[in-house]
Structures are given as structure tokens and as C-alpha cells.
Amino acid sequence: MNKIKTNTFKNNLQTIYIPIPSAKSATVLILVKAGTRYEQKRTNGISHFLEHMVFKGTKNFPSARDLAVAVDNIGGEFNAFTSKEYTGFYVKSAVEHLDLSLKIISELVFSPLLPKEELERERGVILEEIKMYEDDPGVNIYDYFEEVCFPHSSLGWDTKGLPKNIHNLQRKDFTDYLDYMYSPNRMVLAIAGGIKTDKRMHDLVLKYFGQNQKQVIFTENSFTFQQTEPKIKIIEKDTQQTHLIYGFRTEGRLSKDRYILLLLATILGSGMSSRFFTEIREKRGLAYAVGTTRNNYKESGYLALKADTSHHTAQQVLELANVEFEKIKKKKIGEKELKKAKEFIKGHMLLGFEDSMEVADFYATDLLLDNKIRDIDAVLRKIDQVSSSDILRVANKFFIEKNKNMAAIGKNKNLGI
């Protein structure tokens, strides 16, 4: 990649351009600081619902079909996603269609029509989506686990929202939310691919994103989580398997132990030679899907085992996980296993950087949430600097009794950790 260029327009929109000389395509991605953590109880689910609604038509593409045809005409792809901390919209196309990609993204975030009749139709779609995930406990378990980890806060709420909220949200709720949250000073625009960071690029972005001068003064919310004992949530359901997540509270995105935790998660449960995979699947055949899951928000995070197993083996899986959590606290990891974990992370990062969408997302997320970007080479160096002593120290720091959390869906109501 050539030199990355960042810029802040007069309307406080932050932009980042990442040239990839070998690429013939480009991704235009915008992240908006509008997600579950900024919702109220009554409006929980509105960030995700609005993400759907903007695709129902904009000022110059007045219907969902008009938007779809515009993207199909250039052989591109577009989509969106909602998380706890932000919403993202992107178009990926051949680089010669960058102008249209920028136009479409700007219209999605600045001038959606939000037609009332489409709102009623999409309400049904969202409700069906909620039901779909309720019928998929292997996915739904993540929502329950975060509810356990982040109680009494919007970080613990389901991004899809509660059905009663989806039934009750009205068009004014969406226009108010859009006006308040979708302002340029709450956005980061990233463009990655076969682009040039020249005046033409600057002028093109200015044309579509520099004219909106709306500014919102917004106080960031923050939560404090003080866990003093293990927490367990079991959802009894007539399923074929028990779906569980069991692990420990850690620290937020900017923790000084960030890369050590990444390596810990990798050693324990990333890849087919990881400790969880080896002990639970390969040696004992107790699960098909098993590994680690981790997340880091501003204030807090977690590192955990995720497994889907038969009801009668669920407790055994939890006990095996405990063995591995304790083992990594007591004995230094060997240099060979540590090197393997480092190469696993670095290799997957570099493979991901072959995709302009992955590149755009990496840098845009950093800029939106941390107000700075990490150099990929510096990240790789920090991973290489982690020692076996670091692993031991951090395992003992976080893998303690009071930090334990577990959520499970299935027929077992007496699971213990």
C-alpha cells in the first residue's frame, strides 16, 4: 500500500484514503457513530431498523429498486451493518465507478426518504429477522452472553431490538434519530483500493460529502462495570444441542494488554491446532464448532470459549475449558506454540488486507472509535514483541473467579462454572 492520507473537512467529516496500487476495484465505506450503545430503552433497535430503511429510497434514487439497479449497472455490490458502537454502509465497485459509489453512499446517509409505506413493510421484515435468530441459538447465544457481561447498560442490549419496540417505532422516531446521529462530525469516510490521493479525489469527496454542514454537539456515554462474582444465564429451550459461551471479563479497546489478549485468544481457540479445538473436538469429539470469541468496547471486553455440544456433554466441555484456562495461568507457553500463534494472527491479518473492504474497515474503525489510526506494520511488530511472560501475566490478571461469565441455551438448567 502507498502512503495513507487523512483529512478533516470543514464540516468535521473525517476521511481516510488508502491506495492499494495492485487493486482494480475500490471500496467506499462510511461509518456512523450510531449504534446500540446510543439508544434509549424505548428506541432500542432503531439503529438497525434505520440501516434497513435508508435502502428504501433516497433523493436521486427514490426506490429500493433504483438503488439496486444503479449498483448492478456497474457490477458492484453494496450493503450495510449495525453494531453496538456504529453503523456502516459501503459500495464496492471497479475504481472507474468511484464517482457513483460516493454519490450512493452520500445519499444513503444524508438524504434517505424513509417512506411511510415502506416503514410498515420493513417492520415485518425486522420482526421476521428477530424470529429467525431466535430459532438459531448458535448465533443468538452471543446476545445473551453480552447481556450477562454488560448488565444495566445499552451495551448489553440486542442490536435488533425488542419486538415491542419494532412494533411501536414511528417515522418521526427515525427522522429525529437521523437528524441527531447522522451528522458529518459523527462519521468517518474511508476509500480503499486502486485510487490516487490527488486533488481530483479530494474534490470528488468534497462534492458529495462536504456540503452538509450539520453539526451535533454530543456527549459520549460511558459505562462502568464492576463485577464481584461469576454470572450465569441459562435459557431453557428444546434444542438439539447446548449452545454456550463461557469466559472472562477483560478490558476495553485501548488496553495496554490488547495484543497479549489477542494472542491468548488465538492460543486457546483460533485455528484447528488451538488448545480448545484439540482437547474438546480432536481428542474427545465433543463438539463440531468450538473456539474462542472476544470483543472489546471502549470500557470493557471479554475473552471466552464458544461451543455447541450435546446436552449431556455440556458440563464436561465447561470443565475442559476450565482446565485450559488454569493451565495457561500456571505454565509458561513454549516458544514454538507462541510463534505459531503470532504467525497465525499476522498471516490472517495480511490475508484480510488483500480485500479493500477489510482495509477500509480496519482504518475507519480505528479513526471513528479511537480518533487515530494504527500502522499495520507497527501492529505486526507489537504482536511479535509479546513474550511468554506477558501471556502468563495477563492470563493471571483476567482469568480469575470474579470475572467469570457464562450464557447457555438448551435443556440444561444446572450447568456450573
The rounded distance, in Å, linking the Cα atoms of 42 and 319 is: 40
DSSP string, 237-303: ---SSEEEEEEEE---TT-TTHHHHHHHHHHHHSSTTSHHIIIIIITT--EEEEEEEEEE-SS-EEE
User: Quick one: 5-209 is in which CATH superfamily?
Assistant: Metalloenzyme, LuxS/M16 peptidase-like (3.30.830.10)
- C-alpha cell recorded at residue 161: 431490538
pTM: 0.95
Q: Are 5-209 and 231-410 the same fold in CATH?
A: yes
pLDDT tens, 291-343?
999 999 999 999 999 999 999 999 999 999 999 999 999 999 999 999 999 99
- Across the beta sheet with 187-193, the strand order is 5-8, 14-19, 187-193, 25-32, 87-94, 77-82
pLDDT of res. 254: 92
The rounded distance, in Å, linking the Cα atoms of 160 and 195 is: 35
Residue 1 pLDDT > 70, yes or no?
no
pLDDT tens, 41-54?
999 999 999 999 99
- C-alpha cell recorded at residue 58: 433516497
Contact present, 97 and 76 (Cβ < 8 Å): yes
Q: Which of 381, 193, 405 is nearest to 303 (CA)?
A: 405
Structural Rg of the chain based on CA atoms: 23
- Write the CATH number of the domain with boundaries 231-410: 3.30.830.10
For the chain, the average pLDDT equals: 96
Q: Where are the domains of the chain?
A: 5-209, 231-410
Give the mean pLDDT of 136-159.
97
